[in-house]
Structure 1
Amino acid sequence: MFDDVLLCKGENEDSPKCSLNGNSAQHRQIKRSNGRRKKNKKKSEAEDLWSLLTQCAQSVGVNDQRTANEMLKLIRQHSSEFGDGTQRSAHYFANGLTTHLAGMGAPLYAHLLSNRTSAADALKAYGVYVLACPFKKMSNFYANKRIMELAEKATTLHIIDFGICYGFQWPCLIQLLLAQAGGPSKLRITGLSSHNQCNVIAKKWETIQLEELKITKDEVVVVNCMYRLKNLPDDTVSPTSARETVLKLIRSINPESFIHGVANGTYNAPFFFSRFRKALFHFSAQFDIFEATVAQDDPQRMMFEKEIHGRDIMNLVACEGTERVERPETYKQWQVRTLRTGFKQVPLNQELVKKVMDMVQSSYHRDFVVDVDGHWMLQGWKGRIIYALSCWKPVKN
């Protein structure tokens, strides 16, 4: 399905499949001009929606409810969860602004969290995301290959996964381990999450004690955290930073490797309008990805946008203080934090990075980008860095 979508997106009226009878040079010029006008009109509509959202956020920021509600009416007229990427993005940001105005951010977000979809439906939506977007698949591929390298010398491999969720990363690794000659005879996975699987520790990560992880001396321990530390409280919430506490816990584990995937974001400002503007820029890219790769009426696309992007937007727009859990930092900020805690970066495996680049180039939309900055593998869309991945080792005392 997705190959067909990409083919149609890449074709134009001058290609052999789309040629028309009476195909003169003048006719072709008219078609190209019409195409430019349609594209410019769509761009103008998107800019108008962005402008309305930005002005509305300014009014919300100063609690000008009358002006904000008037603008929200206009935004609602031109946005929809069933529209194009820009209209869908505007719909969910409008939901967040409406909830912020009503002062109902915390209870509504709590309701969204408790009203989770079933594991079967989540798997379907996740499948569409993986087919359309390489970020999670390529991150898991790189991380699992690095773990395989460490597993060669292990009798017992112990993976501590901060944010295991449904554990989609691990079936592929288990298959690889079963096929590997001379690999570990025992695999332990400790999942830190609220979901019931593997050996689960369901509590705030900053309150976990080393003894609870039940690490034994004969284990090769790998700590894996994919894009979840962004949900920890930061320094603006408490003088004792949960992020520093968790990084120190990981350092005390003394893992053979700490694989850290970072959701790269700048929308963690304490000031509402600044946070809103940067979040709008970030999530427009997320909705644009689906718009370019998946049909608008795909039910799994709509589910993913509602349950993942819509929920995150609701939290960062409608919630304040400790209730706001969407607090991403840039990978460069995380680098400073992690170095300060007593880790050193491990150079990227260039052969694996090349494989990731080749797979993305051959199997995904041309606007996806894989790049390298120092020891970080970066993944993005149209030049915007969305995720970064790096491996770390504790500095020996």
Structure 2
Amino acid sequence: MMYLGGCCSCRFDAWILYSARLTLTKELQHSSILTSSSSYPPSRRTPPLNSNYLFNMEEDHITASTKSSSSKQYENHTSNPIIPLPKLANFDVLFSDPNRRWASDLLLDCARAVSTSDKPRVHHLMWILSELASPYGDLDQRIASYFLEALFARLTSTGPRTLLTLSSVSDRITCFESTRRTNLRFQDLSPWSTFGHVAANGAILDSFLSPSSSNPNSASRLHILDLSTTFCTQWPTLLESLATRSSGADDTPHLSITTVVPSSSPSAHRVMREIAPRIDKFARLMGVPFCFSVVHYPDPDLSTLDLPRLVADDGSSTTLAVNCVNFLHRVPPAGRRRDILLANIRQLRPQIVTLLEEEANLVGFEDEDEGFLKDFRECLGFFSAYFDSLDYCFPKTSNDRLALERAAGRAVVDLVACPAEESSERRERAAGWSRRMKIAGFKPAAFSDDVTEDLSALLKRHKEGWSMRSADKDVEDSTPSGFGGYATTGLFLTWKERPVLWASVWKA
């Protein structure tokens, strides 16, 4: 079992965990959970593996190796006494309601035991979860699988090492074709990513094509500083829009895009090497004069980016737009580094800044008991909504879905088990970002009616459950930095009434 690897070097006492396993097995048999008469469906206990999961072979091999190592550890402690544990919860109640999320209940109970250092209870619940969890099962099983891994990494102080292992495996099996297929499939089935693309592209076009006091005659060149993790999937529609809105070749604006890739992984280099010639070719087909450059930035402290070097001064005929899509939360919040990066962007004097971030208060997991439980609940709520949306949009046996869920699983390990100063997943709520933008000197702007209509049309093409609402109201924020009382601007994408994404426009 993957989660129990390396127990000899961790703070778990192997003999207690082995005893808990034996005790729990007996209790589960008595409660009929492992029998055919159980109220828990057999398919949840042992979900069948699809033979087509070639995408997962290397990671499954690591899991199997770790599982074998763990089994040997247990075999060395067969003579230890059984330690009595508390009685199981009423599983008939837990599983009888098909709409009840049993994974959330058990994971929160486990997190509560972690926060109070209740070791026997932690061992007890983690074994229950390990028996029920599977990355190939139903929604609850998948959520339980990834959060159990993160909790175990936190308990054993192996978060950074676990994250490095998972990232290395992902990097080895990632290529351009798999990235392209997964991203296109995700965009086709869910508005999670395309919502921000449509909002940002519409706002950039409106700013570029509409005369303003700072740009009375409209510019002939558009330079976009792309701070995002979208692998340029946003830009083909923008190129097409620029081509169709021009009356002839002479007045087609010149577009330059400088994309910053916040990663030094070989897979990111491989993917971007394939993307560059393809986007150049597409621009030629559209008849848009185009210049594209990629900057790989390996330093995790993105606040040290030399932005003026990336943006050449092309004169008054150039409109500068900064596109931030799920990028700012990759900057660790400690040391005012996010404020420093935004101040550096402000010094570029862009005509427009588009900002899209996922809506969750995950700035940092506190060490205090109550703080950890509160932060874990927020993390569980946000990623449960994400997994739920994937479950609603994708078939169960989908390699693309599995790739997206594994990426989310790495984010969960980062959040739950890694130090905040090393994290690249600390999301903030809209109110926190709004405060930071205003402190940096930006002023909020509104999306045009055309953009809002385009977003509404986008959501109508997808299944029920997605909606959009305005964020133009005072939102009290409870982030640790005390961000609150600031008017929030922009639009929320909601999944089953829960805001999951926030899109906004800002002027320098």
Q: TM-score range, shorter-chain basis?
A: 0.7 to 0.9
Q: Which has the higher contact order (CA 8 A, sep 6+)?
A: 1
SS in 1 for 2:178: helix
Structure 2 contact 243–252 (Cα < 8 Å) conserved:
no
How far, CA to CA, are the matches of 2:177 and 2:204 in structure 1?
Answer: 28
1:59-114: CA deviation from partner (whole Å, max 9, x where unpaired): 32344444322211101222211122122111100111111122110022123333
SS in 2 for 1:356: helix
1:169 to 222, 227, 234: 234
SS in 1 for 2:357: strand
Structure 1 residue 165, shift from structure 2 partner: 4.8
How far, CA to CA, are the matches of 2:252 and 2:443 in structure 1?
Answer: 26
What TM-score does the superposition give when structure 2 sets the normalisation length?
A: 0.65
How far, CA to CA, are the matches of 1:89 and 1:38 in structure 2?
Answer: 16
1:193-240: CA deviation from partner (whole Å, max 9, x where unpaired): 134442315144211234312321422100000122112111xx32xx
- Report the identity percentage: 24
How far, CA to CA, are the matches of 2:448 and 2:97 in structure 1?
Answer: 45
SS in 2 for 1:380: strand
Structure 1 contact 151–184 (Cα < 8 Å) conserved:
no
1:200 to 285, 295, 311: 295
In structure 2, the residue matched to 1:248 is 343
SS in 2 for 1:267: coil
In structure 2, the residue matched to 1:146 is 203
- Amino acid of the residue matched to residue 366 of structure 1? E
In structure 2, the residue matched to 1:43 is 99
2:497 to 358, 365, 383: 383
What TM-score does the superposition give when structure 1 sets the normalisation length?
A: 0.82
SS in 1 for 2:99: helix
In structure 1, the residue matched to 2:35 is none
How far, CA to CA, are the matches of 1:164 and 1:302 in structure 2?
Answer: 19
1:272 to 357, 365, 372: 372
- Amino acid of the residue matched to residue 296 of structure 1? K
* CA gap 1:39/1:79 in 2 versus in 1, 3 angstroms: closer
Structure 1 contact 63–101 (Cα < 8 Å) conserved:
no
2:469 to 352, 371, 379: 371
SS in 2 for 1:42: coil
In structure 2, the residue matched to 1:291 is 391
Gapped regions of structure 2 (runs ≥ 5): 1-92, 210-217, 273-292, 473-488
Structure 1 contact 267–274 (Cα < 8 Å) conserved:
no
How far, CA to CA, are the matches of 1:316 and 1:61 in structure 2?
Answer: 15
Structure 1 contact 346–392 (Cα < 8 Å) conserved:
yes
In structure 1, the residue matched to 2:126 is 72
How far, CA to CA, are the matches of 2:308 and 2:176 in structure 1?
Answer: 31
- Listed as ranges, the matches of 1:14-29 within 5 Å are none
In structure 1, the residue matched to 2:152 is 98
- Amino acid of the residue matched to residue 323 of structure 2? N
- Listed as ranges, the matches of 1:307-386 within 5 Å are 308-361=407-460, 363-374=461-472, 375-386=489-500
SS in 1 for 2:155: helix
Structure 1 residue 183, shift from structure 2 partner: 4.9
How far, CA to CA, are the matches of 2:344 and 2:221 in structure 1?
Answer: 21
Structure 1 contact 206–242 (Cα < 8 Å) conserved:
yes
In structure 2, the residue matched to 1:214 is 311
1:96-136: CA deviation from partner (whole Å, max 9, x where unpaired): 11111221100221233333222211222222221221121
How far, CA to CA, are the matches of 1:393 and 1:167 in structure 2?
Answer: 23
Structure 2 contact 414–423 (Cα < 8 Å) conserved:
yes
Structure 1 residue 176, shift from structure 2 partner: 2.5
Structure 1 contact 65–101 (Cα < 8 Å) conserved:
no
How far, CA to CA, are the matches of 2:128 and 2:99 in structure 1?
Answer: 18
1:135 to 183, 192, 205: 192
Structure 2 contact 328–338 (Cα < 8 Å) conserved:
yes
How far, CA to CA, are the matches of 2:95 and 2:414 in structure 1?
Answer: 33
Structure 2 contact 198–454 (Cα < 8 Å) conserved:
no
SS in 1 for 2:389: helix
1:312-361: CA deviation from partner (whole Å, max 9, x where unpaired): 11111121232232211110111111111111111221232122113312
Structure 1 residue 388, shift from structure 2 partner: 0.8
Gapped regions of structure 1 (runs ≥ 5): 1-36
2:286 is equivalent to residue 191 of structure 1:
no
Q: Which structure's CA Rg is the greater one?
A: 2
How well do the aligned residues superpose, as a CA RMSD in angstroms?
A: 2.2
How far, CA to CA, are the matches of 2:309 and 2:506 in structure 1?
Answer: 23
How far, CA to CA, are the matches of 1:164 and 1:88 in structure 2?
Answer: 24
Structure 2 contact 203–447 (Cα < 8 Å) conserved:
no
How far, CA to CA, are the matches of 2:253 and 2:190 in structure 1?
Answer: 34
Structure 2 contact 222–319 (Cα < 8 Å) conserved:
yes
* CA gap 1:210/1:92 in 2 versus in 1, 3 angstroms: closer
Structure 1 residue 166, shift from structure 2 partner: 1.5
Structure 1 residue 391, shift from structure 2 partner: 0.6
Moved more, 208-217 or 283-292: 208-217
Aligned residues: 350
SS in 1 for 2:256: strand
- Amino acid of the residue matched to residue 226 of structure 2? D
Structure 1 contact 370–377 (Cα < 8 Å) conserved:
yes
How far, CA to CA, are the matches of 2:447 and 2:118 in structure 1?
Answer: 50
